[in-house]
Structure formats: structure tokens, C-alpha cells
Amino acid sequence: MSWDYYLKGDYVIKVKVKKHRIFFWILLLIPLLYFIIFRLVVIPYGIYISFTNRALIGPQAREWSFVGLENYIKILKDPSFYAAIRNSFIYAVICGLIGQLWLGLFLGQLIWHGKISGGFKERVTTLIYALAILTWIMPETIAGIEMRAMFGRRGLINKLLEALGIGGVDWLNLYNTWLGIPVILWMLILANIWKGCSFSMALTLAAMEGIPREIYDAAKIDGVNVIQEFFYITLPLLKNLLPFMVIVLFTGSFSHFTFLWIILGGGAGVWKEANIAIYSYVVAFINYQVGYGAAISVITMAIYIILGVLSLKVRG
């Protein structure tokens, strides 16, 4: 039982307030139990499966046994796993830290420039904004189809090259390395920059609304161009936002499944070393080695939980 005190004239009125704490605990318990049963339980269950040699189908699906750390030892000896995790890191670093971040910042700047200029420029940038957001909210499957149509053997880019008199290249089957990274991975990176740069653009724009407009007006009188505006005004003012954006973009790309799965054509013949996500899916659902796949998932989970803690720290 708790009491609230109100001041009324010269008197203090003491009022009994029912807190109904039990009602609220029940309200909280329903979503919490739902979450625990269907999400938190899965984490120890995944770790448990990773200690077995379970298969998805066949005799080992019923009669499996504990193998201890065997799956993890297998991971340490698996060259495909190393390739997959290396490609994941390259993909996430180049997409998140370089491509999406800078392109998004630049687009935010461009749109902001149009917005403060007004008139026809504002209309042009509104159109850009709408298109960028459309690209972002589009389901990843559809964006994947579009990107496959761009980079595929008979895709738009090859069509363009043929028109210029250069023979087409089968971009999505090219494993030669350029700068130490397979060309096919470069194509995936380009595709993901196209899909994901709108998020950092939206964040940049939201943050820019907080920057006093007078700064830009003053710059405009001094005849500053878009690029100078970006490097000398926007970037220094957005400094605090950058670490958060970097982590969000990195985690978004690190185990990207749907988008890459579609671009690579899906199915059993997919390039399984593209990404840690694709590798674990192929191992578990195409090669049917559930135990081994679960071990890879546990490692992915651990990486993500570290990144999650880091993002909370950065966020403050």
C-alpha cells in the first residue's frame, strides 16, 4: 500500500494510491515468457546441438550421439569456413565502413543541399530521396533479382559492355582475384552498397536537421560547393554519429543471407564460401550436417553478441 501527498491550500492531503503491481507483472510476463520460450531457449539448444553429430535426414537424424568438441575441431580444420568468414569480414568492412557509410553521407549531403536551396533543386532531391527509400524498403528478394539481372551473364552490364565492343564477362562466376578479393565478391559488395546506402542516408538527414541552417546559408554566400560543404561543414558536425552508424552497417552486412542467396542464384550449386551465413545454411540444409551447421551458427552468434555489446557501449 502506498500513499501520495498533495498540497491543497494549507493542508497536505494524503491519498491512498493503488499501484496494481501484480497486474503489471502479469502484463509483462506474457511477452516475456513468449520471448523466453521461443527465442532465449533456442540459444542453449543451438549450443547443445553443436555438440552432437546430428543430421537433418537419414539414419543419423534419429540415432545421433554426443561428439563433444569434435564439430569445433572440424571447424578449425575447415578451409571453407576460413574462406567464408574471411569473405564475410571483407564484405562487411567494405560495404559498411566504406561503401554504404560514405555514399550515404554523400547522398544525405546532396539531398540536404537541394532542400536548403529550394525551388527546382528541392524537387530533384525529393525524387532522389523517394527512390533511395524505395530501394531500401524493397524486400531483399526483389532487390536481389534486380541485382542478378544487372550482373548476370546476360545482364545489363554485359549488354552495355557488348554495345561498347568489349566482350561480356560472367561476373557472378568469376573467382579470379582483384586486390586479393574475388571479383564475384566485388560484385556482391557493389550490389549491397546500392541496396543499403539509403539507411545511412536517412540517419544522416535526420541528424542534419539538428544542424543550424545558418551555417549552410553562410557557406552558400561564400560560394561553397556541394563537396566542400560536405567535408568542411557536415562531416565535422556528424562526428558523434559515425561510430554508431559504422557498427550498425557492419552488423547489417556481416551475415547477409537473403540478398546474396538470390543474387548467387540460390539452390545447391550456390557459391557456399560467399558468406558465413550462406555457408552455415548450405552445411545444415543442403549437406544435412545439422550438428556442424549449429557449431558454425554458435560462432556467428558469439560474434554478433560481442558486436551488440559494443554497439550499446558506443550508443552510451
Partner 1 sequence: MVMVKVRIKKYGFLKLMNSIAFYILSVLVLLYFLTPHIWLVNAALSPTSKPYIQFVRPTFANFVKVFKEHNFMHYFKNSLIISVLSTVITVFLAIMGGYALYRLNIPDVVILGLWITTFVPLLAYIIPYYIYFASLGLVNTYIGAVIILTVSSLPYYMWLMKNYFMSFPKELEEAALIDGCSRLRILFSIVLPLSMPQVGLIAAMAFNGAWGDFLAPLVLLTKRELMPLSVGIFVESARPWAFYEPWDYRILAAFAVLYVIPPILLFVYSHRYLKGLARIGTI
How many angstroms separate the CA atoms of 218 and 54, rounded?
A: 67
> Is the Cβ of residue 26 or residue 69 nearer to partner 1 in the bound state?
26
* Shortest spacing between CB 110 and partner 1, in angstroms: 6
Stretch touching partner 1 by CB under 8 A, among 68-76, 83-91, 177-185, 286-294: 286-294
Residue 121 has a CB neighbour count (10 Å cut-off) of 14
In order of 129, 142, 245, 284, 304, the CA distances from 200 in angstroms are: 12, 21, 7, 33, 20
Stretch touching partner 1 by CB under 8 A, among 67-75, 79-87, 174-182, 217-225: 217-225
Residue 53 binds to partner 1 (criterion: CB under 8 A): no
Residue 186 binds to partner 1 (criterion: CB under 8 A): no
Residue 110 binds to partner 1 (criterion: CB under 8 A): yes
> Site residues for partner 1, window 73-102 (CB under 8 A)?
none
Which one of 97, 286, 301, 314 is in contact with partner 1 (CB under 8 A)?
301
How many angstroms separate the CA atoms of 83 and 247, rounded?
A: 22
Class of residue 129 by CB neighbours under 10 A (exposed 0-12, middle 13-18, buried 19+): buried
* Shortest spacing between CB 163 and partner 1, in angstroms: 10
Question: Phi then psi for 176, rounded to 5 degrees?
Answer: -60, 150
Residue 309 binds to partner 1 (criterion: CB under 8 A): yes
Residue 312 binds to partner 1 (criterion: CB under 8 A): yes
- What are the cell numbers at 44? 542453449
CA angle (194, 198, 199) in 5-degree steps: 125
How many angstroms separate the CA atoms of 151 and 170, rounded?
A: 8
> Is the Cβ of residue 189 or residue 205 nearer to partner 1 in the bound state?
205
How many angstroms separate the CA atoms of 49 and 240, rounded?
A: 42
> Site residues for partner 1, window 9-48 (CB under 8 A)?
15, 17-18, 20-21, 23-25, 27-28, 30-32, 34-35, 38-43, 45-46
Stretch touching partner 1 by CB under 8 A, among 75-83, 91-99, 178-186, 282-290: 282-290
User: What binding mask, one character per residue, do residues 113-152 give for partner 1 by CB under 8 A, x or -?
Assistant: xx------x--xx-xx--xxxxx-xxxxxxx-xxxxxx-x
> Site residues for partner 1, window 219-278 (CB under 8 A)?
221, 223, 225-227, 241, 244, 251, 255, 257-258, 261-262, 265-267, 277
> Is the Cβ of residue 107 or residue 233 nearer to partner 1 in the bound state?
107
How many angstroms separate the CA atoms of 279 and 187, rounded?
A: 18
How many angstroms separate the CA atoms of 102 and 197, rounded?
A: 8
Class of residue 139 by CB neighbours under 10 A (exposed 0-12, middle 13-18, buried 19+): exposed
Residue 285 binds to partner 1 (criterion: CB under 8 A): yes
* Shortest spacing between CB 180 and partner 1, in angstroms: 26
